[in-house]
Structure 1
Amino acid sequence: MRHGNGAVRAFCQTAASGVCHTDWAYLFEAGKGMQMRPFPLILGHEGAGVVESVGPGVSKFSPGDKVIPLFLPQCGECECCLSPKTNLCTKNWTKTQQGVLADGTSRISCKGRQVYQFIGIGSFSEYTVVLDTSVTKIRDDAPLDKVCLLGCGVSTGYGAALNAAKVEPGSSCAVFGLGAVGLAAVMGCKAAGATRIIAVDINPNKFEKAKVFGATEFVNPKDHNKPIQKVLAEMTNGGVDFSLECVGDVAVMRAALESCRSAWGTCVIVGWTELAELTLAPYDLLLGRTLKGTYFGGWKSVEGVPRLVDDYMNQKLLLDEFVTHTLHIDQINEAFNLMTRGESIRSVIKME
């Protein structure tokens, strides 16, 4: 590998990476539910590692720093970064979405052929090179095989409840989908003070895990002969105050919207999908419901992730409870199999 201006190389031999459903989706649904990405492609975007060396002009990082790469950068200079209204960053957005750095190339190659890095990261690798705006330094005592989960799923779900939905104390919530993102959303609802947190999933085995994060009730749509939104409306005398869709399915998105109360209910779309189209009845919005989306849970990444690491280290945020399997990089296919069989919440891949 070689350096490039403004790049930092993160040494990941002892690092870890969570296996996110989005990695699987781009591998198996490219051109269907997801946009095509260039191949060959190193997947993985939920990693943590140690800086080995830095490129010219990089002053914020030093060899030996523990870091978390960020698929959502924070340059601190673009219009979005300077606005408190969003956590998005426009700098090099198109480049990283295509798996390359600012100069249009990846720093990884195999047999003379360029290998692309998923969302500019590619954490299923012993080494990776990322832009200095796409990485954040974390405390030295943080366990990398746990805090890697803050690179995507946990931060996204947790922030969806706190930052996007702005769940209120004493409110009722419904969380659709109990993968890592959904369970983190449940945790966020609890942290915000919600008193009713209804976990919705077709896998009943996930309810016990959902209770660990704060769910108070569980509903399996398969147990009812009516739409889940009607079931929830009957349970809550009109609908929940907040609903969070953490599946990435447009039918579930509409059900989540219709499950929240008219007049003031808020629905947040958290699950990721790209090519499917969402159809709505204007009536569902005209009577006062709010529909919104969130990306990375609304956290400004460089600033927010280290604070989340601190919260974990101070026992204010759960991470260990998400990890159901710890595997070696050679077992990455087994991690995907566990995911598709519904047997894992988060598998963590270790590189050593």
Structure 2
Amino acid sequence: MSTKGHVIKCKAAIAWEHGKPLVIEDVEVAPPQAHEVRVKIVATGVCHTDWEYLHGRGKGMKFRKFPLVLGHEASGEVESVGAGVTKFSPGDKVIPLFLPQCGECERCKSTKTNQCRKNWANTQMGVLADGTSRISYQGQQVYQFIGVGSFSQYTVVPDTSLAKIRSDAPLDKVCLLGCGVSTGYGAALNTGKVEENSTCAVFGLGAVGLAAVMGCHAAGAKRIIGVDINPDKFAKAVAFGATDCVNPKDHCKPIQEVLMEMTGGGVDYALECVGQPAVMSSAFESTSDACGTCVIAGWTETEGLTLQIEKLLLGRTLKGTYFGGWKSAHDVPKLVDAYMNQKLKLDEFITHTLPLDRVNSAFDFISRGESIRTVIGLWSRSEGPTEFRAPVAPVDDVNEFSTTGECEGSK
């Protein structure tokens, strides 16, 4: 029996309140309205932003709405479309987008930004264009994280927040292009515009940071220095293209001074992929004072970023990036093609795969620093879900990234 036009009952992981584990519930997903698409989610990555929304205590905490279906880094298949939808058909393979691209506004037509604001205010609050969510539990509205809500077997998104991809793409891999990998890779290529034979430093070697390393390598940088307090991430960074790796805890001086000495005056490009004000400052100060560029890719709601203006006036450039500068609906299919043509890595980011009912384990891995990316399979296979783990040693706190060493192991 066709599900088109009918409410679909399915499983979803609901966050009922801040800081508490997600609960697997039976939810109802309403049919798509005009210019909306209902998507069967096949796989979803668990991003640090999901963890931060649930557990973080930044200034945005007072705006958080519950109950909520988290998840925004996903892939799936179109189940049905609402009135006026012309670019998607049932069965299409797609990647939902937390950053829309309407193609009609001034920002979409500009070559200087990817910041489309179609339905932006509503999706940031977890609802669609009419101010409501399509997901409910026993008659109660359940919000969709940044307009996606991919920790649900089905979800509904605006047709401007969806990318159609090639039919042979493996959904359990390309889901990562919905956020983290695209962000880091684009931070280097699009926002930083890393040049051939340049020297780069990447702060933080999680998924975004490793993707930034990959982007620097693709741009032809001659030296790429990975910076992280977890040395067990260094081998992975080298596999992505890093030439050197540095642990701030191995030094008695601030990491920016270490990098200045290593490079004889500072790096050409620094990419901050942690999301901490202190690290942002260190990344900026590690660049060459004459013409260095620092790109901030890490998300934070924490205040406290301070910069010495004279260091900016001498010639440094400070940039921010969102979704790596990609025009979402237009560029994500190209990134999928790059992966399929073996020009972009994805498999190497995945350290765990889990079924939906173990999504809380994925949050535990993040809080202990034990994963790069966990992919959640929303639909069980007959032989049961599998889990594999690549060893990444834990750090004490996922939110702590020291930029001033403790002389541990220094010589």
TM-score w.r.t. structure 2 length?
A: 0.84
Partner residue, 1:312? 339
- RMSD (Å), alpha carbons: 1.0
Partner residue, 2:394? none
Tell me the secondary structure at the aligned position of residue 107 of structure 2.
coil
Q: 2:120 aligned with 1:93, yes or no?
A: yes
Distance 2:303 2:212 in 1: 23
Partner residue, 2:330? 303
Partner residue, 1:9? 38
Q: CA 1:35–1:250 in 2, change beyond 3 Å: closer, same or farther? A: farther
Distance 1:226 1:31 in 2: 28
Distance 1:67 1:30 in 2: 33
How many residue pairs end up in the alignment?
350
Q: CA 1:33–1:107 in 2, change beyond 3 Å: closer, same or farther? A: closer
Distance 2:146 2:355 in 1: 22
Tell me the secondary structure at the aligned position of residue 80 of structure 1.
helix
Distance 2:60 2:139 in 1: 31
Partner residue, 1:75? 102
Deviation for aligned residue 1:274: 2.5
Deviation for aligned residue 1:343: 1.1
Q: Give the counterpart letter for 2:72 in structure 1.
A: H
Residues 244-280 of structure 1, C-alpha deviation per residue, up to 9 Å, x if partnerless? 0000000000000000001100000000012424111
Distance 1:277 1:138 in 2: 40
Partner residue, 2:221? 194
Q: 2:165 aligned with 1:138, yes or no?
A: yes
Q: Give the counterpart letter for 1:64 in structure 2.
A: G
Tell me the secondary structure at the aligned position of residue 63 of structure 2.
coil
Partner residue, 1:29? 56
Tell me the secondary structure at the aligned position of residue 305 of structure 2.
coil
Tell me the secondary structure at the aligned position of residue 102 of structure 1.
coil
Residues 113-168 of structure 1, C-alpha deviation per residue, up to 9 Å, x if partnerless? 10000000001110000000000100000000000000000000000000000000
Match of 2:87 among 42, 45, 60: 60
C-alpha contact 1:30 1:37 (8 A) present in aligned 2: no
Partner residue, 2:392? none
Partner residue, 1:278? 305
Tell me the secondary structure at the aligned position of residue 167 of structure 1.
coil
Match of 2:144 among 102, 117, 135: 117
Q: Give the counterpart letter for 1:225 in structure 2.
A: C
Distance 2:220 2:296 in 1: 20
Distance 2:172 2:303 in 1: 34
Q: Give the counterpart letter for 1:342 in structure 2.
A: G
Q: 2:348 aligned with 1:324, yes or no?
A: no
Match of 2:237 among 193, 210, 216: 210
Q: CA 1:214–1:234 in 2, change beyond 3 Å: closer, same or farther? A: same
C-alpha contact 1:25 1:34 (8 A) present in aligned 2: no
Identity of aligned residues (%): 72
Q: CA 1:35–1:305 in 2, change beyond 3 Å: closer, same or farther? A: farther
Distance 1:231 1:208 in 2: 21
Deviation for aligned residue 1:33: 6.4
Match of 2:370 among 338, 343, 347: 343
Q: Give the counterpart letter for 2:78 in structure 1.
A: V
C-alpha contact 2:58 2:301 (8 A) present in aligned 1: no
Distance 2:353 2:61 in 1: 27
Distance 1:307 1:294 in 2: 19
Partner residue, 2:18? none
* Structure 1 segments of 4+ aligned residues over 3 angstroms from their partners: 30-35
C-alpha contact 1:34 1:275 (8 A) present in aligned 2: no
Partner residue, 2:399? none
Partner residue, 2:386? none
Distance 1:32 1:130 in 2: 27
Where structure 2 has 5 or more consecutive residues not aligned to the other structure, the ranges are: 1-29, 380-411
Q: CA 1:35–1:216 in 2, change beyond 3 Å: closer, same or farther? A: farther
C-alpha contact 1:42 1:116 (8 A) present in aligned 2: yes
Q: Give the counterpart letter for 1:86 in structure 2.
A: T
